[in-house]
Amino acid sequence: MTIDDELSEREIAIAAARTLQEKFIEVAKTEAVLYVENDVLFRREPGQKPVFVKHLVGRDPYLTKLMLNQSVFIIKKRSIE
Protein backbone atom coordinates (compact mmCIF):
# COMPACT_ATOMS: atom_id res chain seq x y z
CA MET A 1 0.00 0.00 0.00
CA THR A 2 1.42 3.35 -0.97
CA ILE A 3 0.96 6.74 0.63
CA ASP A 4 -1.40 7.77 -2.19
CA ASP A 5 -3.62 4.75 -1.47
CA GLU A 6 -3.74 5.64 2.23
CA LEU A 7 -4.70 9.23 1.44
CA SER A 8 -7.43 8.20 -0.95
CA GLU A 9 -8.84 5.75 1.61
CA ARG A 10 -8.78 8.50 4.20
CA GLU A 11 -10.57 10.88 1.84
CA ILE A 12 -13.19 8.22 1.14
CA ALA A 13 -13.74 7.67 4.87
CA ILE A 14 -14.06 11.40 5.51
CA ALA A 15 -16.54 11.79 2.65
CA ALA A 16 -18.59 8.84 3.92
CA ALA A 17 -18.67 10.29 7.45
CA ARG A 18 -19.84 13.67 6.14
CA THR A 19 -22.56 12.03 4.05
CA LEU A 20 -23.81 10.01 7.02
CA GLN A 21 -23.82 13.09 9.24
CA GLU A 22 -25.74 15.15 6.67
CA LYS A 23 -28.28 12.35 6.16
CA PHE A 24 -28.73 11.95 9.94
CA ILE A 25 -29.39 15.67 10.34
CA GLU A 26 -31.83 15.64 7.41
CA VAL A 27 -33.79 12.67 8.79
CA ALA A 28 -33.73 14.04 12.36
CA LYS A 29 -35.63 17.12 11.16
CA THR A 30 -38.61 15.04 10.01
CA GLU A 31 -38.55 11.73 11.93
CA ALA A 32 -37.64 10.25 15.29
CA VAL A 33 -34.02 9.06 15.48
CA LEU A 34 -31.96 6.99 17.90
CA TYR A 35 -28.37 7.87 18.69
CA VAL A 36 -25.69 7.03 21.25
CA GLU A 37 -23.82 9.59 23.30
CA ASN A 38 -21.39 8.58 26.07
CA ASP A 39 -22.74 5.00 26.27
CA VAL A 40 -26.33 6.22 26.61
CA LEU A 41 -28.99 5.55 23.98
CA PHE A 42 -31.27 8.53 23.27
CA ARG A 43 -34.38 8.99 21.15
CA ARG A 44 -35.08 12.37 19.66
CA GLU A 45 -38.18 13.52 17.84
CA PRO A 46 -38.34 16.69 15.74
CA GLY A 47 -38.81 19.81 17.86
CA GLN A 48 -38.40 17.96 21.17
CA LYS A 49 -35.62 17.33 23.65
CA PRO A 50 -33.76 13.99 23.61
CA VAL A 51 -35.32 11.23 25.72
CA PHE A 52 -33.18 8.74 27.64
CA VAL A 53 -33.83 5.18 26.42
CA LYS A 54 -31.14 2.94 27.87
CA HIS A 55 -27.69 2.97 29.42
CA LEU A 56 -25.45 0.68 27.38
CA VAL A 57 -23.31 -1.74 29.37
CA GLY A 58 -20.66 -4.27 28.49
CA ARG A 59 -18.04 -1.90 27.16
CA ASP A 60 -14.81 -1.29 29.04
CA PRO A 61 -14.54 2.48 29.71
CA TYR A 62 -10.76 2.22 30.14
CA LEU A 63 -10.41 0.57 26.74
CA THR A 64 -12.67 3.20 25.18
CA LYS A 65 -10.54 6.04 26.57
CA LEU A 66 -7.38 4.27 25.43
CA MET A 67 -8.72 3.94 21.89
CA LEU A 68 -9.89 7.56 21.78
CA ASN A 69 -6.41 8.74 22.75
CA GLN A 70 -4.82 6.94 19.82
CA SER A 71 -4.71 8.90 16.60
CA VAL A 72 -4.20 6.11 14.05
CA PHE A 73 -5.98 2.80 13.75
CA ILE A 74 -4.62 0.15 11.43
CA ILE A 75 -7.10 -2.32 9.99
CA LYS A 76 -5.56 -5.26 8.23
CA LYS A 77 -7.36 -6.59 5.19
CA ARG A 78 -7.44 -10.35 4.95
CA SER A 79 -9.06 -12.61 2.44
CA ILE A 80 -10.71 -15.69 3.87
CA GLU A 81 -11.11 -18.63 1.56
CB 33 within 8 A of CB 23: no
Residue 60 and residue 35 share a domain = yes
Residue 43 and residue 66 share a domain = yes
Residue 37 and residue 56 share a domain = yes
Q: Domain count for the chain, please give it.
A: 2
Q: Which of 27, 25, 10 is nearest to 72 (CA)?
A: 10
Residue 37 and residue 26 share a domain = no
What are 18-77's pLDDT values in tens digits? 999 999 999 989 999 998 888 889 999 998 999 999 988 777 767 767 767 666 666 677
The more confident residue out of 8 and 70 is 8
Is 50 within the bounds of a domain?
A: yes
Give alpha helix (H) positions in 1-81: 3-28, 61-69
Is 81 within the bounds of a domain?
A: no
pLDDT recorded at residue 55: 86
Q: Which domain holds residue 24?
A: 1-30
